[in-house]
Every structure is written in structure tokens, then in C-alpha cells.
Amino acid sequence: MNQFLEKYDLQHTIGTGAFSEVKLAVERATGQKFAIKIIDKLKCKGKESMIETEVNILKRVRHPNIIQLYEMYEFSGKIYLVMELVTGGELFDEIVGRGKYTERDASKIVQRILCAIEYLHSMAIVHRDLKPENLLLSDKTRNAKIMISDFGLSKFFNDDEVMKTACGTPGYVAPEVLRRQGYRNEVDLWSLGVITYILLCGYPPFFDPNNVELFRKIMAGKYEFDSPWWDNVSEKGKMLAQPRILLHLTKDFVRKLLVLDPNERYTAAAALRHPFIVDYNNGPMDPM
Ligand code: ADP
Ligand code: MG
């Protein structure tokens, strides 16, 4: 038996992605449960050693809102990544279930994602594939933490393939990625703009059944705050109980992220200082 199977009892599938299958595993010695991401080596042919280097970097990532990666194994033509297990499912399903979020709830989720992105960027790691399917909930309670998964490895898969796969929704891709201008940190803030938009109204800012049309819309940066869905989302400052004046400027926050020019787009640090984030997150620390 190989080292991996000696250490872990591999069980049923708990999720599938565009490039991988995720299974539950129990560490034999401790009974502790883990999620194992299994990647077919054919899908990242010739890049195995690069992946190993990247995994060694990703193993150093420690953040309460980022799913921890522990180990990597390779056998039978597959790569096995041992990760922290979460049990709350995908944020995507939660959005579908709720329809949309209040500004306050959206702000708290976005604040946690921003902290995690700022941390990753400080370690020179770009997620590049932020979308609700890659945002998981730690457990099934109302106080579940939002956890980022699937970071850092998407660059090993061919861009064309990512865009062609039916399961990978291309609606979150930044315009500079579509223009093949090369990409940096800023792509994650674009994707976060798309996620924030969806949280607030329940549907995406860029949508078209035809991918060519969809990409055209993204590259033109054309989206609307449609009536009536956005009518009650705060635009200008709203005066609330004195002495505090709340200036949520929620639409302004989305506008600062969905900016075509990556150099003009908000950074994670700037976004964390925006009133939409600050005003809802200055009370006692929330578990989210
Ligand atoms: P891909 O990169 O191929 O899209 P993901 O890493 O996003 O694969 O995983 C696919 C799915 O598996 C996720 O959407 C989620 O439902 C499930 N999953 C992934 N990681 C975990 C985890 N750590 N704990 C529990 N479920 C997970
Ligand atoms: Mg994924």
C-alpha cells in the first residue's frame, strides 16, 4: 500500500469541480476528517514539479477564512491534496436559497473575503478563480465562517480550457484576463466586485448565454444597477442615528471594483477602508 493510503482511509465524493474531484478521507491514526482534492495529471501535464513548488508555498498560508492545505501526494497518475474539511456547502447554494443578502450581511461576508484576499496578496499569491462556488461555509450553523478554497493553482490549467468548460462560469473573469494582457492581483478584486453585486441582487452583472457575447460585455465593462432590484440599495450617504452618520455608499463600492483598468481598480487594502465595509464592521467582531 502506498504512503497516502496507509495514512488515510479514502471515502465518498463530496464535490466535483472543473478539474478535480473532492473526496472525504479519515486519518487512520487520529480519526480526523479531511477533504482530499484529486487532480488528474493529464489535465496539467508537464507541470507537476511547478505544482509541487506552488503547493509548498500554499502550505504556508494560514488564515481563518482560507481553507488550509496540509500535504500533497502523487500516485496512479493523480495528484492528491490533503485539505481542511468544511461542511457548510457552497456560498452559491446559500445565495440561491436566500435570493439575496441584506447590505449588512453582504458587507460582513465581503469584509471576510477581503481580509483573506489582502493576506494572500501580501504573500504574492493571486487566487484568480474567485466565485461563489469557491467560497465555502465552515459549517451548517448561522454563524458559519466564509472560507476561500481553490486558490493559487488555477494558473496551471490552460486559460482556454478554463473558459471552455461548461462547469466553470466565465462571468467572474476580469477583462484583462480576457484580453490576455497578463494578470496580477487586481483580477481578484474584479471577481470580488462581481460577487458583491450578486450578493446584493441575486443575479450576475454580466450575463449572456453566448460566451463570446458575455466576454464582449465584460471587456466593455457594461453593467447596470437595474430597477427595481437595485432601487433600495444605498447610493448616497444615509443619515442614521446621531452621533454616527452612516455612509454605506454600497453602489459606489461595487463601482470601485468593477473598473476596467486594473491600475484604477481598488486594491484589497483600499476596499477594506470603504464605508460599505467600515460602517457595518466596526462593532464587536462577528464570527463571519
Ligand atoms: P475545482 O478546482 O476543480 O473547481 P474545487 O476545489 O472548487 O475544485 O472543489 C470542488 C467542490 O468540492 C467545491 O465546490 C466544494 O463543493 C467541494 N469542496 C472543495 N473543497 C472542499 C473542502 N475543503 N471541504 C469540503 N468540500 C470541499
Ligand atoms: Mg473550484
**Average pLDDT of the residues in 5-12:** 97
Residue-wise pLDDT for 138-180, tens only, equals: 999 888 999 998 876 766 665 555 444 433 467 888 888 888 7
Question: What sign has the CA pseudo-torsion 21, 24, 28, 30?
Answer: positive
DSSP-derived letter for residue 181 is S
Amino acid at the residue 268: A
Distances (CA, A) of 228 to 83, 152, 232, 236, 245: 42, 38, 8, 17, 26
CA distance 8 to 285: 36
Residue-wise pLDDT for 193-206, tens only, equals: 999 999 999 999 99
Phi, psi at 276, each rounded to 5°: -60, -35
Distance 102 CA to ligand 1 centre (A): 26
Minimal-distance CA residue to ligand 1 atom 16: 15
Write out the catalytic residue numbers.
129
For the Cβ of 67 lying below 6 angstroms from any atom of ligand 1, the answer is yes
- Contact at 8 Å (CB) between 86 and 67? yes
Distance 205 CA to ligand 2 centre (A): 20
Residue-wise pLDDT for 51-85, tens only, equals: 888 888 888 999 999 999 999 999 998 999 999 99
CA distance 64 to 12: 26
Distance 135 CA to ligand 1 centre (A): 9
- Contact at 8 Å (CB) between 192 and 172? no
pTM of the model: 0.87
DSSP-derived letter for residue 284 is S
In angstroms, how far apart are the furthest CA atoms of the chain? 68
- Give first-to-last CA distance, the chain, whole Å: 41
For the Cβ of 149 lying below 6 angstroms from any atom of ligand 1, the answer is yes
